[in-house]
Chain A
């Protein structure tokens, strides 16, 4: 106990050194990591497509029989540094139920994004997701809520009425956040 004063002085000197060694060491170590975070977080500034009005097909090409058919969606696409003119950016089901009534669904399953199939093997034709067995009516509604995991029906896409009158099928193509009860556009 008689040496109480001396260690205190030494302790405070060492405390000072420890403090600054720790602080400066931490700054040096953290700097590259924190600086690097900017690049890692770069994708956050990307906003998704707010929807693109695209021509899918001629109305003539679509039989008036209510059977859904898959069509590719073509549009210009920017992928990081590349710009691709007129490439396939997705696919839609088109279904013509009357002379001038066409409905469009994004093929992407609203559950977790697998591509939904059209199945006419059962008595009643339906949309059927091959991944987690979600089932949808032909109008897009969830078919068997007890066994279907998807929280919402198929994502319908807006069909341009004016273009339809001119004999062409144009749709507002969009992707939506999966696994949400509401349709929230991606981005």
Chain B
């Protein structure tokens, strides 16, 4: 063995190189404050290793980027772990860079003759920021897509060449395949290459000038190996432990819904270390906030070694660094605080989380991801789109479990007009006076005409959650419920024939009515009732007899047998896909409410909704969409 190593040494001189690398003298001995450079090198090493491994599974195109990242995160062995390490190490690098810079400035290690090395450090910081920016887009999810769009639009603010520069960067005028291939090449090729060059220069210059020992010296000189390396190794392991804590706690890295240029994403924010710049852009124009101010500050920072030559220069630099840090932290805090207090942003976050979760469930469904990409899965999903369409087109009258289908819209603002009293409003909205006062943080004597009040939404048509299910129909057939806002209380049918008919029935009919409800509900063939419908054939047959004979529903309604004289909505196939599609398309059709239709628009007939949109609402109401078996974990963020 020794012979072989001697032979190799003879040819390469590796022993000398190793000695040169390891036996650097450290005046005053090893110290914990010198660890930052090594932890950064270690973090970069993690990024290279995890980055290359992710590269083996990543596919940069707009139909495969999100999909391959989904696959890494959810399907591949250890994929979430490696992706999580890459994600959190990137963030650790930013923190370590700040700490390293602080140590260098505080210890005066930037001063002559180390100016050039300081600039190399600034260069490295810029490269790391660039890696963070380009990496954010690569998963091609909503978060990365919209945040990076802002960043690349800022490029256009560069004087003269901005728009061309932007085109070159994103591979055209619009985001697409070429944006990803370019960003990926920059992220995995150009910047790491530059980084290696800069690190080599940085370490070379560091060795050339030696460490800047902290005065007074602590003890006698020691070597880089093994004393400092032991401290460095302990520090690296500590950094690793922190990274692993976050990786395991968050089960990898976040992945929001697939990028969709047609889908607003109000939750768009850059990665946290860019938040201060993001906030700055709320106060200044893009040209000043993204080009001039950061540019000038960078130049000032680069000049720090020269300021350091003045008598009070070092103190000035310490003050400058403190100001920059405090300024960035203040802007950062303002951004976070604003978002935390913004109902709109919180709602957007909730919406983003819901879609991310759903996208991951659909991608993992047996049907899998089509070659058109995962973005089409969400676009065609009744659970997401049905709810949104309901909220937009139906929720001004109808409710879904008390809300507008998306979970909001339970509160509206109204003006207190002359003639109104808080008591009358309370009664109208089904609230107590105290509830209203509390909701608006008001005292009784502050209530006067013209004031805006937040009150409960008042529905004027039925709540359609579980529409046509047994429970829904059982309640419908009880007069008190029928005339409540939950069903027809807000419509003119409150005093219609059906209402009068139900009023005549009493508790002794309850059992039979439940059978009728089961029969009607079976007409809907709801996916979530398939099993009980199949079990209860006897009950359903009995209910049919009651419906036709005892209660004589067919006096007004058509049921199974064609009936031209029917004056109330058709009960054949009640609540089925076909029935719902037809009633939404045209409720004023003779088969449904005819001329008695109370305000419901003919969405299909009048082209207010397309066939596809009506289908999405229908499937959503019937819960006719993919749901994973219980116990399946979803890992959206």
Contacts and interface: CB of A to CB of B under 8 A. Distances in A.
Interface of A: 14, 17-18, 20-22, 24-25, 27-29, 31-33, 35-36, 38-42, 45, 78, 80-84
B49 A24 contact: no
Nearest to B368: A83
A82 B368 contact: yes
A81 B240 contact: no
A39 B57 contact: yes
A35 B81 contact: yes
A13 to B, nearest CB: 10
B78 A28 contact: no
Given A38-B77, A40-B53, A22 B226 contact: yes
Interface in B231-276: 232-234, 236-237, 240
B57 to A, nearest CB: 7
B233 A35 contact: no
Most buried by A among B49, B226, B371: B226
Contacts of A27: 233, 237
A106 B568 CA distance: 65
Contacts of B53: 36, 39-40
B46 A32 contact: yes
Given A17-B226, A42-B76, A42-B79, A81 B237 contact: no
Most buried by A among B77, B236, B369: B77
B436 interface: no
B240 A24 contact: no
Given A20-B230, A21-B229, A83-B370, A32 B76 contact: no
Given A28-B233, A80-B71, 20 more contacts: A20-B233, A21-B233, A22-B226, A25-B232, A27-B233, A28-B42, A33-B49, A35-B50, A35-B85, A36-B82, A38-B81, A39-B53, A39-B56, A39-B72, A39-B77, A40-B56, A41-B77, A45-B77, A78-B368, A81-B71
A17 B227 CA distance: 6
Contacts of A81: 64, 67-68, 70-71, 75, 363, 368-369
A28 B89 CA distance: 14
A22 to B, nearest CB: 7
Contacts of B79: 39, 42
B18 interface: no
B267 to A, nearest CB: 25
A42 B70 CA distance: 15
B56 A18 contact: no
B78 A39 contact: yes
* Prevailing SS type, chain B contact patch: helix
A33 B49 CA distance: 6
A38 to B, nearest CB: 3
A15 B371 CA distance: 60
7 contacts: A21-B226, A21-B227, A25-B229, A39-B54, A41-B77, A80-B75, A81-B67
Given A33-B49, A35-B81, A45-B77, A82 B233 contact: no
A160 B538 CA distance: 45
B363 A32 contact: no
B612 interface: no
Nearest to A26: B233
Contacts of B240: 28, 31
Contacts of B68: 80-81
Contact of B236 (A28, A36, A45, A82): A28
B225 interface: yes
B534 interface: no
B306 interface: no
B299 interface: no
Contact of A35 (B45, B52, B78, B363): B78
A28 B237 contact: yes
B367 interface: yes
B236 A39 contact: no
A42 B77 contact: yes
A40 B371 CA distance: 25
Interface in B84-119: 85
B365 to A, nearest CB: 10
A86 to B, nearest CB: 12
Nearest to B366: A83
B56 A24 contact: no
Most buried by B among A14, A20, A80: A80
Contact of B78 (A25, A42, A80): A42
9 tightest A-B CB contacts, nearest first: A38-B78, A83-B368, A24-B233, A21-B230, A21-B226, A36-B53, A42-B77, A32-B49, A18-B226
Contact of A84 (B85, B232, B371): B371
Contacts of B82: 35-36, 38-39
Interface string B38-75: 00001001100110111011000000100110111001
A78 B371 CA distance: 11
A127 to B, nearest CB: 34
A82 B226 contact: no
Contacts of A31: 240
A11 B368 CA distance: 63
Nearest to A44: B77
A30 to B, nearest CB: 10
Contacts of B370: 82-83
B49 A39 contact: no
Most buried by A among B52, B368, B369: B368
